[in-house]
Amino acid sequence: MLDQQSDNLKTPEESLSWSGIGKAILNPIANFYHVSMEIIGLISVALKASTLLLNRRRRLLFYSLFQRQVYNAGVSALYVNGVIGFLIGTLLISRLFDYLPRQIIEDQFGQIFVVVVFRELGPLISGIILIARSATAITSEIGYLRLQREFQVLNGLGINPVFLFLLPVFFAFPVSLFLMFIYFDVVVFLSSFAVVWVSDPSISFTGLLANILSQITLNEIAINAVKAILGGMLIGIISIYFGAKVVDSFTEVTESISKATTAQLLVFFIINVLLSLLAYTQ
Amino acid sequence: MPLFVNNLNIEYPGKVLFKDLQVEVEDQKIVAVRTEVLDGGTTLLKGLAGMLDGIDGEVRLDGLDLLHMDPAQRALKVGYVYEQQGLVSLYDCFQNIALPLQFHTTTRNELVETRIFSLCEKFNVDRQLLNEYPHALNDVQCRMINLLRALVIEPKLLLVDELEGGMSEKVLGDTIDTLREEQKNNAMIVIITTADDLLLDQADDSYQIDDKKLRACH
Protein backbone atom coordinates (compact mmCIF):
# COMPACT_ATOMS: atom_id res chain seq x y z
CA MET A 1 0.00 0.00 0.00
CA LEU A 2 2.75 2.42 0.99
CA ASP A 3 4.60 1.51 -2.19
CA GLN A 4 1.51 2.34 -4.21
CA GLN A 5 1.18 5.68 -2.44
CA SER A 6 4.81 6.54 -3.03
CA ASP A 7 4.34 5.63 -6.71
CA ASN A 8 1.55 8.16 -6.93
CA LEU A 9 3.54 10.89 -5.20
CA LYS A 10 5.92 11.69 -8.02
CA THR A 11 7.65 15.01 -8.33
CA PRO A 12 6.91 17.03 -11.51
CA GLU A 13 10.49 16.35 -12.64
CA GLU A 14 9.94 12.58 -12.35
CA SER A 15 6.63 12.78 -14.20
CA LEU A 16 8.19 14.72 -17.05
CA SER A 17 11.21 12.44 -17.39
CA TRP A 18 11.39 9.98 -20.29
CA SER A 19 10.89 7.06 -17.94
CA GLY A 20 7.87 8.80 -16.40
CA ILE A 21 6.32 9.38 -19.81
CA GLY A 22 7.17 5.81 -20.84
CA LYS A 23 5.48 4.43 -17.74
CA ALA A 24 2.43 6.65 -18.27
CA ILE A 25 2.05 5.19 -21.77
CA LEU A 26 3.05 1.61 -21.07
CA ASN A 27 1.23 1.04 -17.76
CA PRO A 28 -2.31 1.36 -19.20
CA ILE A 29 -1.30 -0.89 -22.12
CA ALA A 30 0.16 -3.49 -19.75
CA ASN A 31 -2.92 -3.20 -17.56
CA PHE A 32 -5.23 -3.59 -20.56
CA TYR A 33 -3.26 -6.65 -21.72
CA HIS A 34 -3.40 -8.17 -18.22
CA VAL A 35 -7.18 -7.64 -17.87
CA SER A 36 -7.80 -8.96 -21.42
CA MET A 37 -5.84 -12.14 -20.68
CA GLU A 38 -7.75 -12.69 -17.43
CA ILE A 39 -11.08 -12.19 -19.20
CA ILE A 40 -10.06 -14.67 -21.91
CA GLY A 41 -9.10 -17.04 -19.08
CA LEU A 42 -12.53 -16.55 -17.52
CA ILE A 43 -14.21 -17.37 -20.84
CA SER A 44 -12.25 -20.61 -21.06
CA VAL A 45 -13.19 -21.43 -17.44
CA ALA A 46 -16.86 -20.83 -18.32
CA LEU A 47 -16.64 -23.05 -21.40
CA LYS A 48 -14.95 -25.78 -19.36
CA ALA A 49 -17.65 -25.53 -16.66
CA SER A 50 -20.28 -25.90 -19.40
CA THR A 51 -19.46 -29.61 -19.50
CA LEU A 52 -21.21 -29.89 -16.10
CA LEU A 53 -24.45 -29.22 -17.98
CA LEU A 54 -24.26 -32.71 -19.44
CA ASN A 55 -25.59 -33.97 -16.11
CA ARG A 56 -29.39 -33.68 -16.02
CA ARG A 57 -29.67 -32.76 -12.31
CA ARG A 58 -27.07 -30.06 -12.66
CA ARG A 59 -28.76 -28.81 -15.80
CA LEU A 60 -31.97 -28.33 -13.81
CA LEU A 61 -30.10 -26.36 -11.14
CA PHE A 62 -28.53 -24.24 -13.86
CA TYR A 63 -31.80 -23.77 -15.71
CA SER A 64 -33.60 -22.08 -12.79
CA LEU A 65 -30.80 -19.52 -12.49
CA PHE A 66 -30.60 -19.10 -16.27
CA GLN A 67 -34.36 -18.41 -16.43
CA ARG A 68 -34.02 -15.85 -13.64
CA GLN A 69 -31.27 -14.04 -15.56
CA VAL A 70 -33.16 -14.08 -18.88
CA TYR A 71 -36.24 -12.74 -17.12
CA ASN A 72 -34.35 -9.97 -15.29
CA ALA A 73 -32.10 -8.96 -18.18
CA GLY A 74 -34.17 -9.73 -21.27
CA VAL A 75 -37.88 -9.95 -20.51
CA SER A 76 -38.08 -7.11 -17.96
CA ALA A 77 -36.23 -4.84 -20.39
CA LEU A 78 -39.26 -4.80 -22.68
CA TYR A 79 -40.65 -1.71 -21.00
CA VAL A 80 -37.54 0.48 -21.21
CA ASN A 81 -36.57 -0.87 -24.64
CA GLY A 82 -40.11 -0.18 -25.82
CA VAL A 83 -40.14 3.42 -24.57
CA ILE A 84 -36.76 4.22 -26.11
CA GLY A 85 -37.70 2.42 -29.34
CA PHE A 86 -40.94 4.40 -29.51
CA LEU A 87 -39.12 7.70 -29.04
CA ILE A 88 -36.50 6.84 -31.64
CA GLY A 89 -39.10 5.57 -34.10
CA THR A 90 -41.15 8.74 -33.94
CA LEU A 91 -38.09 11.00 -33.93
CA LEU A 92 -36.48 9.18 -36.86
CA ILE A 93 -39.49 9.41 -39.13
CA SER A 94 -40.49 12.95 -38.18
CA ARG A 95 -36.88 14.07 -38.87
CA LEU A 96 -36.82 12.22 -42.16
CA PHE A 97 -40.05 13.96 -43.16
CA ASP A 98 -38.28 17.28 -42.64
CA TYR A 99 -35.45 16.40 -45.00
CA LEU A 100 -36.75 13.96 -47.61
CA PRO A 101 -39.75 13.96 -49.95
CA ARG A 102 -42.53 11.67 -48.74
CA GLN A 103 -42.38 9.51 -51.87
CA ILE A 104 -38.71 8.71 -51.28
CA ILE A 105 -39.38 7.82 -47.66
CA GLU A 106 -42.18 5.46 -48.66
CA ASP A 107 -40.11 3.82 -51.36
CA GLN A 108 -36.89 3.65 -49.40
CA PHE A 109 -38.36 3.07 -45.92
CA GLY A 110 -37.20 -0.54 -45.74
CA GLN A 111 -33.65 0.31 -46.69
CA ILE A 112 -33.46 3.28 -44.30
CA PHE A 113 -34.90 1.16 -41.49
CA VAL A 114 -32.45 -1.70 -42.01
CA VAL A 115 -29.36 0.50 -42.42
CA VAL A 116 -30.13 2.83 -39.50
CA VAL A 117 -32.21 0.83 -37.02
CA PHE A 118 -31.70 -2.88 -37.66
CA ARG A 119 -27.95 -2.75 -38.25
CA GLU A 120 -26.77 -0.01 -35.92
CA LEU A 121 -29.22 1.66 -33.54
CA GLY A 122 -30.97 -1.51 -32.37
CA PRO A 123 -27.81 -3.34 -31.28
CA LEU A 124 -26.15 -0.22 -29.83
CA ILE A 125 -29.09 1.02 -27.79
CA SER A 126 -30.05 -2.47 -26.61
CA GLY A 127 -26.46 -3.06 -25.50
CA ILE A 128 -26.40 0.22 -23.60
CA ILE A 129 -29.67 -0.71 -21.88
CA LEU A 130 -28.31 -4.16 -20.99
CA ILE A 131 -25.18 -2.60 -19.52
CA ALA A 132 -27.10 0.06 -17.58
CA ARG A 133 -29.93 -2.15 -16.30
CA SER A 134 -28.50 -5.62 -15.85
CA ALA A 135 -24.72 -5.66 -16.06
CA THR A 136 -24.39 -3.16 -13.20
CA ALA A 137 -26.77 -5.33 -11.17
CA ILE A 138 -24.70 -8.45 -11.86
CA THR A 139 -21.45 -6.72 -10.92
CA SER A 140 -22.93 -5.62 -7.61
CA GLU A 141 -24.53 -9.06 -7.02
CA ILE A 142 -21.23 -10.86 -7.60
CA GLY A 143 -19.46 -8.28 -5.40
CA TYR A 144 -21.99 -8.95 -2.64
CA LEU A 145 -21.58 -12.72 -2.99
CA ARG A 146 -17.82 -12.23 -2.66
CA LEU A 147 -18.25 -10.06 0.43
CA GLN A 148 -20.47 -12.75 1.96
CA ARG A 149 -17.79 -15.38 1.18
CA GLU A 150 -20.32 -17.39 -0.83
CA PHE A 151 -17.70 -18.48 -3.37
CA GLN A 152 -15.90 -20.20 -0.48
CA VAL A 153 -19.16 -21.72 0.72
CA LEU A 154 -19.73 -23.33 -2.68
CA ASN A 155 -16.12 -24.52 -2.84
CA GLY A 156 -16.65 -26.08 0.58
CA LEU A 157 -19.68 -27.91 -0.80
CA GLY A 158 -17.58 -29.24 -3.67
CA ILE A 159 -19.51 -27.08 -6.15
CA ASN A 160 -17.67 -24.98 -8.70
CA PRO A 161 -18.87 -21.35 -8.12
CA VAL A 162 -18.40 -20.73 -11.85
CA PHE A 163 -21.25 -23.14 -12.51
CA LEU A 164 -23.81 -21.30 -10.35
CA PHE A 165 -22.62 -17.71 -10.49
CA LEU A 166 -20.99 -17.28 -13.91
CA LEU A 167 -22.55 -19.75 -16.30
CA PRO A 168 -26.18 -18.53 -16.07
CA VAL A 169 -25.05 -14.97 -16.91
CA PHE A 170 -22.68 -16.21 -19.62
CA PHE A 171 -25.56 -17.85 -21.47
CA ALA A 172 -28.46 -15.56 -20.46
CA PHE A 173 -26.92 -12.25 -21.53
CA PRO A 174 -26.58 -13.11 -25.25
CA VAL A 175 -30.14 -14.51 -25.29
CA SER A 176 -31.42 -11.38 -23.51
CA LEU A 177 -29.56 -9.06 -25.84
CA PHE A 178 -30.98 -10.80 -28.89
CA LEU A 179 -34.50 -10.50 -27.41
CA MET A 180 -33.87 -6.81 -26.83
CA PHE A 181 -32.82 -6.32 -30.47
CA ILE A 182 -36.14 -7.83 -31.52
CA TYR A 183 -38.23 -5.66 -29.15
CA PHE A 184 -36.40 -2.58 -30.24
CA ASP A 185 -36.81 -3.21 -33.97
CA VAL A 186 -40.49 -4.09 -33.59
CA VAL A 187 -41.30 -1.03 -31.50
CA VAL A 188 -39.34 1.33 -33.76
CA PHE A 189 -41.17 -0.06 -36.78
CA LEU A 190 -44.60 0.27 -35.13
CA SER A 191 -43.97 3.81 -33.92
CA SER A 192 -42.51 4.82 -37.30
CA PHE A 193 -45.57 3.41 -39.02
CA ALA A 194 -47.82 5.32 -36.62
CA VAL A 195 -46.13 8.62 -37.58
CA VAL A 196 -46.30 7.81 -41.29
CA TRP A 197 -49.94 6.77 -40.96
CA VAL A 198 -50.91 10.01 -39.17
CA SER A 199 -49.57 12.03 -42.10
CA ASP A 200 -50.93 9.63 -44.74
CA PRO A 201 -53.70 7.21 -43.58
CA SER A 202 -53.73 5.51 -46.98
CA ILE A 203 -50.32 3.92 -46.40
CA SER A 204 -50.38 0.14 -46.09
CA PHE A 205 -49.03 -1.54 -42.95
CA THR A 206 -48.30 -4.80 -44.75
CA GLY A 207 -46.68 -2.96 -47.64
CA LEU A 208 -44.30 -1.14 -45.30
CA LEU A 209 -43.57 -4.32 -43.39
CA ALA A 210 -42.92 -6.24 -46.59
CA ASN A 211 -40.64 -3.42 -47.70
CA ILE A 212 -38.54 -3.90 -44.55
CA LEU A 213 -38.57 -7.70 -44.59
CA SER A 214 -37.38 -7.73 -48.18
CA GLN A 215 -34.27 -5.83 -47.05
CA ILE A 216 -33.43 -8.16 -44.15
CA THR A 217 -31.21 -10.88 -45.51
CA LEU A 218 -29.91 -13.93 -43.71
CA ASN A 219 -26.56 -12.17 -43.58
CA GLU A 220 -28.13 -9.24 -41.66
CA ILE A 221 -29.66 -11.62 -39.13
CA ALA A 222 -26.36 -13.50 -38.75
CA ILE A 223 -24.43 -10.28 -38.09
CA ASN A 224 -26.96 -9.23 -35.45
CA ALA A 225 -26.79 -12.67 -33.87
CA VAL A 226 -22.99 -12.41 -33.68
CA LYS A 227 -23.32 -8.96 -32.11
CA ALA A 228 -25.74 -10.39 -29.53
CA ILE A 229 -23.65 -13.49 -28.76
CA LEU A 230 -20.28 -11.78 -28.61
CA GLY A 231 -21.58 -8.57 -27.00
CA GLY A 232 -23.81 -10.30 -24.45
CA MET A 233 -21.16 -12.82 -23.50
CA LEU A 234 -18.46 -10.19 -23.01
CA ILE A 235 -20.75 -7.82 -21.11
CA GLY A 236 -21.63 -10.68 -18.71
CA ILE A 237 -18.05 -11.87 -18.31
CA ILE A 238 -16.77 -8.35 -17.65
CA SER A 239 -19.42 -7.87 -14.94
CA ILE A 240 -18.37 -11.09 -13.25
CA TYR A 241 -14.67 -10.36 -13.63
CA PHE A 242 -14.91 -6.99 -11.91
CA GLY A 243 -17.51 -8.20 -9.37
CA ALA A 244 -15.19 -11.02 -8.38
CA LYS A 245 -12.40 -8.52 -7.71
CA VAL A 246 -14.25 -7.45 -4.55
CA VAL A 247 -12.51 -8.80 -1.47
CA ASP A 248 -13.24 -7.02 1.78
CA SER A 249 -15.05 -3.74 1.52
CA PHE A 250 -18.39 -2.51 0.21
CA THR A 251 -16.63 0.45 -1.41
CA GLU A 252 -14.91 -2.04 -3.70
CA VAL A 253 -18.34 -2.91 -5.13
CA THR A 254 -18.97 0.64 -6.35
CA GLU A 255 -15.45 0.80 -7.75
CA SER A 256 -16.04 -2.50 -9.58
CA ILE A 257 -19.31 -1.27 -11.06
CA SER A 258 -17.62 1.86 -12.35
CA LYS A 259 -14.71 -0.05 -13.92
CA ALA A 260 -16.95 -2.75 -15.36
CA THR A 261 -19.37 -0.27 -16.94
CA THR A 262 -16.53 1.69 -18.55
CA ALA A 263 -14.99 -1.50 -19.97
CA GLN A 264 -18.36 -2.82 -21.15
CA LEU A 265 -19.27 0.36 -23.02
CA LEU A 266 -15.88 0.46 -24.76
CA VAL A 267 -15.89 -3.23 -25.64
CA PHE A 268 -19.47 -3.22 -26.85
CA PHE A 269 -19.02 -0.17 -29.08
CA ILE A 270 -15.78 -1.58 -30.52
CA ILE A 271 -17.47 -4.93 -31.29
CA ASN A 272 -20.40 -3.20 -32.98
CA VAL A 273 -18.31 -0.84 -35.06
CA LEU A 274 -15.84 -3.54 -36.11
CA LEU A 275 -18.54 -6.04 -37.04
CA SER A 276 -20.48 -3.42 -38.99
CA LEU A 277 -17.34 -2.33 -40.82
CA LEU A 278 -16.38 -5.92 -41.62
CA ALA A 279 -19.85 -6.97 -42.67
CA TYR A 280 -21.20 -3.95 -44.48
CA THR A 281 -18.18 -2.32 -46.10
CA GLN A 282 -18.38 -2.94 -49.83
CA MET B 1 -9.54 -45.22 13.89
CA PRO B 2 -12.22 -43.31 11.93
CA LEU B 3 -10.60 -39.84 12.19
CA PHE B 4 -6.84 -39.68 12.29
CA VAL B 5 -4.98 -36.36 12.20
CA ASN B 6 -1.23 -36.58 11.95
CA ASN B 7 1.38 -33.79 11.91
CA LEU B 8 -1.10 -31.19 10.68
CA ASN B 9 0.48 -27.79 10.17
CA ILE B 10 -1.70 -24.78 9.45
CA GLU B 11 -0.19 -21.38 8.92
CA TYR B 12 -1.00 -18.06 7.36
CA PRO B 13 1.75 -15.82 6.01
CA GLY B 14 3.71 -14.77 9.06
CA LYS B 15 1.65 -16.74 11.58
CA VAL B 16 1.69 -20.42 12.53
CA LEU B 17 -1.68 -21.47 13.98
CA PHE B 18 -1.19 -25.23 14.41
CA LYS B 19 2.03 -27.20 14.40
CA ASP B 20 2.36 -30.98 14.30
CA LEU B 21 -1.21 -31.44 15.41
CA GLN B 22 -2.11 -35.01 16.38
CA VAL B 23 -5.70 -36.07 17.07
CA GLU B 24 -7.54 -39.36 16.93
CA VAL B 25 -11.31 -39.54 17.27
CA GLU B 26 -13.38 -42.69 17.50
CA ASP B 27 -16.62 -43.22 15.67
CA GLN B 28 -19.87 -41.72 16.98
CA LYS B 29 -18.08 -39.35 19.35
CA ILE B 30 -18.87 -35.72 19.96
CA VAL B 31 -15.70 -33.73 20.48
CA ALA B 32 -15.75 -30.13 21.70
CA VAL B 33 -12.85 -27.73 21.19
CA ARG B 34 -12.84 -24.76 23.51
CA THR B 35 -12.22 -21.68 21.45
CA GLU B 36 -11.45 -18.05 22.23
CA VAL B 37 -11.67 -15.05 19.92
CA LEU B 38 -9.27 -15.39 16.95
CA ASP B 39 -7.45 -18.39 18.39
CA GLY B 40 -7.81 -20.44 15.21
CA GLY B 41 -10.89 -22.55 15.99
CA THR B 42 -12.56 -21.86 12.66
CA THR B 43 -9.27 -22.38 10.81
CA LEU B 44 -8.84 -25.73 12.55
CA LEU B 45 -12.27 -26.93 11.38
CA LYS B 46 -11.67 -25.71 7.82
CA GLY B 47 -8.26 -27.37 7.86
CA LEU B 48 -9.77 -30.68 8.96
CA ALA B 49 -12.46 -30.31 6.29
CA GLY B 50 -9.82 -29.93 3.60
CA MET B 51 -11.16 -26.48 2.77
CA LEU B 52 -7.77 -24.71 3.12
CA ASP B 53 -5.03 -24.72 0.53
CA GLY B 54 -1.38 -25.29 1.22
CA ILE B 55 -1.50 -27.06 4.58
CA ASP B 56 0.80 -29.93 5.50
CA GLY B 57 0.02 -33.14 7.26
CA GLU B 58 -2.49 -35.90 7.12
CA VAL B 59 -6.22 -36.01 7.86
CA ARG B 60 -7.77 -39.43 7.32
CA LEU B 61 -11.43 -40.27 7.72
CA ASP B 62 -12.18 -43.98 7.46
CA GLY B 63 -8.88 -44.25 5.62
CA LEU B 64 -9.76 -41.51 3.10
CA ASP B 65 -7.24 -38.69 2.69
CA LEU B 66 -9.42 -35.61 3.24
CA LEU B 67 -6.71 -33.13 2.29
CA HIS B 68 -6.15 -34.55 -1.17
CA MET B 69 -9.43 -36.11 -2.20
CA ASP B 70 -11.77 -34.82 -4.89
CA PRO B 71 -13.82 -31.90 -3.45
CA ALA B 72 -17.07 -33.39 -4.76
CA GLN B 73 -16.41 -36.71 -3.02
CA ARG B 74 -15.30 -34.94 0.14
CA ALA B 75 -18.51 -32.87 0.16
CA LEU B 76 -20.46 -36.11 0.60
CA LYS B 77 -18.34 -37.21 3.56
CA VAL B 78 -17.84 -33.98 5.48
CA GLY B 79 -20.55 -31.58 6.62
CA TYR B 80 -19.60 -28.09 7.70
CA VAL B 81 -21.73 -25.70 9.77
CA TYR B 82 -20.67 -22.06 9.54
CA GLU B 83 -20.89 -19.80 12.57
CA GLN B 84 -22.23 -16.96 10.43
CA GLN B 85 -23.80 -16.80 6.97
CA GLY B 86 -22.63 -19.84 4.98
CA LEU B 87 -25.76 -20.00 2.82
CA VAL B 88 -26.17 -19.18 -0.87
CA SER B 89 -28.17 -15.95 -1.23
CA LEU B 90 -29.60 -16.90 -4.64
CA TYR B 91 -31.51 -19.83 -3.15
CA ASP B 92 -34.18 -20.15 -0.48
CA CYS B 93 -33.52 -22.31 2.57
CA PHE B 94 -35.02 -25.47 1.05
CA GLN B 95 -32.84 -25.13 -2.06
CA ASN B 96 -29.82 -24.39 0.12
CA ILE B 97 -30.32 -27.59 2.10
CA ALA B 98 -31.05 -29.65 -1.00
CA LEU B 99 -28.13 -28.22 -3.02
CA PRO B 100 -25.40 -30.77 -2.11
CA LEU B 101 -27.71 -33.71 -2.79
CA GLN B 102 -29.06 -32.25 -6.01
CA PHE B 103 -25.63 -31.35 -7.31
CA HIS B 104 -23.63 -34.41 -6.31
CA THR B 105 -26.12 -37.28 -6.24
CA THR B 106 -28.98 -38.74 -8.21
CA THR B 107 -31.27 -38.85 -5.17
CA ARG B 108 -34.86 -38.38 -6.34
CA ASN B 109 -36.47 -35.04 -5.47
CA GLU B 110 -39.20 -36.75 -3.41
CA LEU B 111 -36.55 -38.42 -1.28
CA VAL B 112 -34.63 -35.16 -0.88
CA GLU B 113 -37.83 -33.48 0.27
CA THR B 114 -38.65 -36.29 2.70
CA ARG B 115 -35.18 -36.16 4.18
CA ILE B 116 -35.32 -32.38 4.61
CA PHE B 117 -38.76 -32.45 6.23
CA SER B 118 -37.64 -35.22 8.56
CA LEU B 119 -34.59 -33.19 9.64
CA CYS B 120 -36.80 -30.14 10.20
CA GLU B 121 -38.99 -32.18 12.50
CA LYS B 122 -36.12 -33.69 14.45
CA PHE B 123 -34.39 -30.34 15.00
CA ASN B 124 -37.59 -28.34 15.58
CA VAL B 125 -37.08 -26.13 12.56
CA ASP B 126 -40.32 -24.58 11.33
CA ARG B 127 -41.03 -25.82 7.79
CA GLN B 128 -42.17 -22.34 6.79
CA LEU B 129 -38.59 -21.23 7.23
CA LEU B 130 -37.70 -23.36 4.21
CA ASN B 131 -39.36 -20.82 1.90
CA GLU B 132 -37.34 -17.93 3.27
CA TYR B 133 -34.18 -16.54 1.71
CA PRO B 134 -31.00 -16.27 3.82
CA HIS B 135 -31.28 -12.50 4.28
CA ALA B 136 -34.54 -13.00 6.21
CA LEU B 137 -32.99 -15.34 8.81
CA ASN B 138 -31.56 -14.44 12.20
CA ASP B 139 -28.21 -15.88 13.31
CA VAL B 140 -29.68 -18.94 15.05
CA GLN B 141 -32.01 -19.79 12.16
CA CYS B 142 -29.13 -19.37 9.72
CA ARG B 143 -26.97 -21.78 11.76
CA MET B 144 -29.81 -24.30 11.99
CA ILE B 145 -30.26 -24.24 8.19
CA ASN B 146 -26.50 -24.68 7.87
CA LEU B 147 -26.77 -27.66 10.23
CA LEU B 148 -29.59 -29.25 8.23
CA ARG B 149 -27.64 -28.79 4.98
CA ALA B 150 -24.61 -30.43 6.56
CA LEU B 151 -26.73 -33.34 7.85
CA VAL B 152 -28.77 -33.92 4.70
CA ILE B 153 -25.81 -35.67 3.06
CA GLU B 154 -25.49 -38.02 6.08
CA PRO B 155 -21.84 -37.08 6.62
CA LYS B 156 -19.22 -39.21 8.32
CA LEU B 157 -17.64 -36.11 9.84
CA LEU B 158 -19.68 -33.12 11.00
CA LEU B 159 -17.74 -29.94 11.78
CA VAL B 160 -19.67 -27.27 13.66
CA ASP B 161 -18.32 -23.79 14.23
CA GLU B 162 -19.72 -22.31 17.46
CA LEU B 163 -23.26 -23.56 17.38
CA GLU B 164 -24.33 -21.83 20.58
CA GLY B 165 -24.33 -18.10 19.69
CA GLY B 166 -27.75 -16.64 20.53
CA MET B 167 -29.24 -20.05 21.45
CA SER B 168 -30.96 -20.72 24.73
CA GLU B 169 -29.55 -23.56 26.85
CA LYS B 170 -32.64 -25.63 26.15
CA VAL B 171 -32.39 -25.29 22.38
CA LEU B 172 -28.66 -26.01 22.52
CA GLY B 173 -29.19 -29.05 24.75
CA ASP B 174 -31.99 -30.36 22.53
CA THR B 175 -29.85 -29.89 19.42
CA ILE B 176 -26.98 -31.89 20.94
CA ASP B 177 -29.40 -34.63 22.04
CA THR B 178 -30.79 -34.81 18.49
CA LEU B 179 -27.27 -34.99 17.08
CA ARG B 180 -26.63 -37.98 19.35
CA GLU B 181 -29.82 -39.59 18.04
CA GLU B 182 -28.61 -38.96 14.50
CA GLN B 183 -25.32 -40.63 15.35
CA LYS B 184 -27.23 -43.82 16.14
CA ASN B 185 -28.66 -43.90 12.59
CA ASN B 186 -25.57 -42.57 10.86
CA ALA B 187 -22.23 -43.32 12.52
CA MET B 188 -20.63 -39.88 12.33
CA ILE B 189 -18.04 -37.98 14.28
CA VAL B 190 -19.03 -34.50 15.45
CA ILE B 191 -16.40 -31.85 16.21
CA ILE B 192 -17.68 -28.58 17.62
CA THR B 193 -15.74 -25.46 18.46
CA THR B 194 -17.38 -23.71 21.38
CA ALA B 195 -16.98 -21.28 24.23
CA ASP B 196 -19.98 -22.77 26.04
CA ASP B 197 -19.38 -24.80 29.23
CA LEU B 198 -22.59 -26.79 28.78
CA LEU B 199 -21.44 -28.01 25.39
CA LEU B 200 -17.96 -28.81 26.72
CA ASP B 201 -19.57 -30.86 29.50
CA GLN B 202 -21.92 -32.70 27.18
CA ALA B 203 -19.18 -33.67 24.72
CA ASP B 204 -17.51 -37.09 24.94
CA ASP B 205 -14.10 -35.45 24.74
CA SER B 206 -13.09 -31.85 25.00
CA TYR B 207 -9.94 -30.03 24.06
CA GLN B 208 -8.54 -26.56 24.12
CA ILE B 209 -6.15 -24.86 21.77
CA ASP B 210 -2.84 -24.43 23.51
CA ASP B 211 0.57 -23.67 22.06
CA LYS B 212 -0.50 -24.52 18.47
CA LYS B 213 -1.83 -27.92 19.56
CA LEU B 214 -4.96 -29.42 21.07
CA ARG B 215 -4.75 -30.26 24.77
CA ALA B 216 -7.37 -32.48 26.44
CA CYS B 217 -9.53 -30.62 28.96
CA HIS B 218 -10.56 -33.69 30.97
Q: What is the pLDDT of residue A3?
A: 43
Query: b/e per residue, A181-203, with b = 16+ CB within 10 A?
Result: bebbbebbbebbbebbeeeeeee
pLDDT tens string A41-98 = 999 999 999 998 998 889 999 999 999 999 999 999 999 999 999 999 998 877 777 7
* Confidence check: pLDDT of A150 > 90: yes
CB contact under 8 Å between B85 and A148, yes or no, is yes
Chain A contact set for B106 (CB, 8 A):
57
CA distance linking residue A202 with residue B124, whole number of Å:
73
Q: Please give the sequence-ordered ranges of beta strands (E in DSSP) within A29-179, or none if there are none.
A: none
The percent of residues above 70 in pLDDT, for chain A, comes to: 94
Distance from CA of B218 to the nearest CA of A (A): 32
pLDDT in tens, B63-91: 899 899 999 999 999 999 998 889 999 99
Question: Cα(B58)–Cα(B160) distance, rounded to whole angstroms?
Answer: 20
Does pLDDT of A244 surpass 50?
yes
- Looking at residue A5, its pLDDT comes to 43
CB pairs under 8 A between A and B: 55
Nearest CA among A238, A242, A261, A262 for reference residue A252: A242
The better pLDDT of the pair A90, B211 is held by A90
Alpha-carbon distance of A196 to A207, in angstroms, equals: 13
Residue A195's pLDDT band (cuts 50, 70, 90): confident
Once rounded to an integer, what is the mean pLDDT over residues A232-258? 93
State the amino acid at position A215 in one-letter form. Q
Question: Domain tally for chain B?
Answer: 1
How far A77 CA lies from chain B's nearest CA (Å)? 21
pLDDT in tens, B98-153: 999 999 998 999 999 999 999 999 999 999 999 999 999 999 999 999 999 999 99
The CA distance from A99 to B18, in Å, is: 80
* CATH number for B53: 3.40.50.300
**A12: pLDDT strictly greater than 70:** no
Confidence band of B218 (pLDDT split at 50, 70, 90) = low
Q: Are B215 and B33 in contact (CB under 8 A)?
A: no
A156: which chain B residues are within 8 Å (Cβ-Cβ)? 46, 49, 51, 75, 80
Domain ranges of chain A: 17-280
| pLDDT confidence of residue A188 | 93
Residue B162 has pLDDT above 50, yes or no: yes
Give the one of B71, B85, B89 whose C-beta lies nearest to A158's C-beta: B71
Helix (H, G, I), strand (E, B) or coil at A125: helix
CB contact under 8 A, A152 and B103: no
pLDDT tens digit sequence for B10-20: 888 888 888 88
Count the residues in chain B.
Answer: 218
| The pLDDT value given to residue A16 | 66
Candidate from A57, A148, A150 with C-beta closest to B102 = A57
Q: Which residues of chain A have a CB within 8 Å of the CB of B88?
A: 150, 153-154, 164
Q: Would you call A159 and B75 a contact, using CB atoms and an 8 Å cutoff?
A: yes
Numbered residues of chain A with Cβ closer than 8 Å to any chain B Cβ: 57-58, 60-61, 65, 68, 144-145, 148-150, 152-159, 164
Q: Which residue of A has its CA nearest to B106?
A: A57
Per-residue confidence (pLDDT) for residue A196, from 0 to 100: 82
B102 and A155 within 8 Å at the Cβ level: the answer is: no
Among A138, A153, A155, which would you mutate to test the B interface (most chain B Cβ atoms within 10 Å of its Cβ)? A153
β-strand pairing of B205-210 with B30-34: parallel
pLDDT above 50 for A141: yes
The residue segments making up the domain with residue B45 are 3-216
pTM reported for the whole predicted model = 0.85
Among chain A residues, the shortest Cα distance to B45 is held by: A156
CB contact under 8 A, A149 and B75: no
Q: What percentage of chain B has pLDDT greater than the value 70?
A: 99
**Which site among A152, A157, A164, A167 would you substitute to test the B interface, given the most B Cβ atoms closer than 10 Å to its Cβ?**
A157
Starting at the edge strand found earlier in the chain, the sheet holding B205-210 runs: B78-81, B157-161, B189-194, B30-34, B205-210, B213-216
Give the number of residues written for chain A: 282
* Cβ-nearest to A157 among B46, B75, B85: B75
* CB–CB contact A149 B89 (8 Å): no
Distance to chain A for B71, nearest Cα, Å: 5
What pLDDT shows up at residue A7? 46
Q: For residue A164, which residues of chain B lie inside 8 Å, CB to CB?
A: 88, 90
Q: Do B100 and A150 touch (CB under 8 A)?
A: no
Q: Which helix (H) or strand (E) holds A92?
A: helix A78-99
What does the alpha-carbon distance between residue B87 and residue A247 come to, in Å, rounded to a whole number?
18
Alpha-carbon separation of residue A259 from A5, A270, B67, B93 (angstroms): 20, 17, 38, 33
Under an 8 A CB cutoff, do A60 and B102 touch? yes
pLDDT at A105: 73
Subunit contact A158:B49, Cβ cutoff 8 A: no
